[in-house]
């Protein structure tokens, strides 16, 4: 990591950017400041630290059988040969699981975690929220992707969100001015949602409706953590129930998740659409498989036909090097064949579409992001894909 990047990361850990969840005990330090054992313990016991809502599982469990052939790849990176165990130890990975055609070909745990332990998702939650938008459209609760955001969050009428569609929100292209600079303690991401500004109005809605417009809606990608929370509020308003309940009804129960999940809430008691569902390693893999299989559960289509293909394909250019890379609907698109749900400190669900391979990892990286950290993950992913096929 360069000195500049390291400094920015240090400031990130001192701020509380858009992580306006509610601690059970107010003196709790920001989750972004946790290190080592705090991460290893806190990430898997988040419901004892922050207020959450439960996403309840159902009576049946979707099977993830262990394949007859297990893989144990090695790979060359940074001048040496790595095993999976080497990688997990060096990059503080608590769980690594690989599915091929719906069967487990690799499953490892570390940092005191086991199969029954949940782990926080950070921004992987965004991809779940996107899927719930699709479910609400399928249910007729949201008119469609081109419906105005203000139809579902009326408090935004008269703001820069006038004329912004649900589709543009999912593409991170509302055009509303937003500063996601973690190195700036006065940036939007550092202060949005951290205080109740108006009685009876969610704090993120209060903050965002005061922002000006910077670009025409749909014209430019601008990563905006606050707006993903806003989309969560939009879904909840549209369906008339909490996000955790809707996620249970649409994904956890019908698809057959193995354990309840928990979803952090904001200062107003609303689940954060952009962050922090805690899920077991196998259930992360089930989320990936549910999407890969087209969003069907219990023999029923949960999202509209074609939703998954559209959501996990490039909808807007976000500067990815691969010409096919970009951003879908709260999914990162790396190539025509690969899409990812990604969270800080290393959380990811990576899907190789044509190979039908899903790789889940849950680390406790020493920094929220970093080029070297991502490069090591990509080296591991390449080796896993080669070994699986």
pLDDT in tens, 64-83: 999 999 999 999 999 999 99
Q: How many independent structural domains does the chain possess?
A: 1
Does residue 153 surpass a pLDDT of 50? yes
- The pLDDT of residue 12 is 36
Gap between the Cα atoms of 150 and 158, Å rounded? 9
User: What pairs with residue 349 in β-bridges?
Assistant: 341, 360
CB-based contact 182:225 (threshold 8 Å)? no
Whether 75 maps to a domain, the answer reads: no
Of the candidates 368, 370, 367, 364, which has an alpha carbon nearest to the alpha carbon of residue 38? 364
CB-based contact 99:105 (threshold 8 Å)? yes
Gap between the Cα atoms of 10 and 368, Å rounded? 9
- The pLDDT of residue 230 is 96
Question: Exposed, middle or buried, 216 (CB in 10 Å: 0-12/13-18/19+)?
Answer: exposed
Of the candidates 104, 42, 22, 80, which has an alpha carbon nearest to the alpha carbon of residue 284? 104
> What's the pTM value of the predicted model, to 2 decimals?
0.93
Gap between the Cα atoms of 273 and 224, Å rounded? 12
Whether 72 maps to a domain, the answer reads: no
How many C-beta atoms lie closer than 10 Å to residue 108's C-beta? 17
Whether 206 maps to a domain, the answer reads: yes
Whether 24 maps to a domain, the answer reads: yes
CB-based contact 381:350 (threshold 8 Å)? yes
Whether 78 maps to a domain, the answer reads: no
Gap between the Cα atoms of 347 and 335, Å rounded? 19
Whether 77 maps to a domain, the answer reads: no
Residue ranges making up the domain that contains 26: 3-66+86-388
Helix (H, G, I), strand (E, B) or coil at 177: coil
User: What does the pLDDT look like over 80-138, one tens digit per residue?
Assistant: 999 999 999 999 999 999 999 999 999 999 999 999 999 999 999 999 999 999 999 99
Gap between the Cα atoms of 349 and 338, Å rounded? 11
The 8 Å CB, 24+ separation contacts for 347-353 are: 347/119, 347/120, 347/121, 347/122, 347/123, 347/124, 348/124, 348/377, 349/124, 349/127, 349/284, 349/285, 349/287, 349/288, 350/381, 351/288, 351/291, 351/292, 351/312, 352/385, 353/292, 353/312
Q: Comparing 181-185, 220-224, 245-249, 295-299, which segment has the lowest mean pLDDT?
A: 181-185
Q: What CATH code is carried by the domain that includes residue 155?
A: 3.40.710.10
- What's the whole-number mean pLDDT along residues 145-151? 98
Structure tokens at 143: 């008119």
Whether 279 maps to a domain, the answer reads: yes
User: What does the pLDDT look like over 268-327, one tens digit per residue?
Assistant: 999 999 999 999 999 999 999 999 999 999 889 999 999 999 999 999 999 877 778 899
Whether 168 maps to a domain, the answer reads: yes
């Amino acid at each position: 990591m360069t000195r500049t990047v390291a400094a920015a990361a240090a400031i990130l850990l001192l701020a509380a950017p858009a992580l306006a969840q509610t601690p059970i005990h107010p003196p709790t330090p920001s989750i972004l400041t946790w290190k080592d054992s705090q991460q290893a313990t806190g990430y898997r016991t988040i419901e004892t630290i922050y207020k959450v809502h439960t996403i309840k599982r159902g009576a049946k469990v979707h099977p993830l059988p262990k394949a007859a052939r297990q893989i144990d790849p090695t790979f060359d990176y940074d001048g040496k040969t790595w095993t999976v165990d080497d990688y997990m130890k060096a990059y503080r990975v608590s769980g690594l699981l690989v599915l091929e055609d719906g069967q487990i070909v690799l499953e490892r745990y570390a940092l005191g975690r086991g199969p029954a332990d949940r782990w926080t998702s950070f921004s992987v939650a965004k991809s779940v929220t996107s899927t719930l938008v699709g479910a609400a459209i399928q249910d007729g609760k949201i008119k469609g992707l081109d419906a105005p955001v203000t139809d579902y969050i009326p408090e935004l009428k008269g703001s820069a969100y006038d004329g912004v569609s649900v589709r543009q929100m999912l593409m991170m292209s509302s055009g509303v001015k937003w500063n996601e600079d973690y190195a700036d303690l006065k940036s939007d991401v550092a202060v949005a949602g951290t205080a109740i500004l108006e009685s009876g109005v969610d704090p993120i809605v209060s903050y965002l409706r005061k922002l000006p417009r910077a670009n025409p809606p749909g014209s430019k990608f601008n990563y905006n953590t606050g707006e993903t929370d806003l989309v969560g509020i939009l879904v909840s308003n549209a369906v008339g129930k909490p996000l955790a309940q809707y996620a249970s009804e649409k994904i956890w129960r019908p698809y057959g998740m193995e354990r309840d999940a928990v979803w952090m809430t904001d200062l107003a008691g609303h689940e954060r659409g952009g962050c922090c569902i805690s899920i077991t390693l196998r259930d992360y893999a089930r989320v990936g498989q549910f999407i890969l299989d087209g969003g069907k559960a219990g023999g029923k289509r949960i999202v509209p036909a074609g939703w998954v293909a559209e959501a996990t394909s490039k909808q807007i250019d976000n500067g990815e090097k691969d010409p096919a890379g970009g951003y879908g609907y709260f999914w990162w698109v790396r190539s025509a064949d690969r899409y990812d749900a990604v969270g800080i400190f290393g959380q990811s669900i990576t899907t190789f579409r044509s190979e039908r391979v899903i790789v889940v990892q849950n680390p406790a990286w020493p920094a929220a992001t970093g080029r070297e950290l991502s490069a090591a993950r990509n080296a591991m992913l390449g080796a896993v894909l080669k070994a699986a096929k």
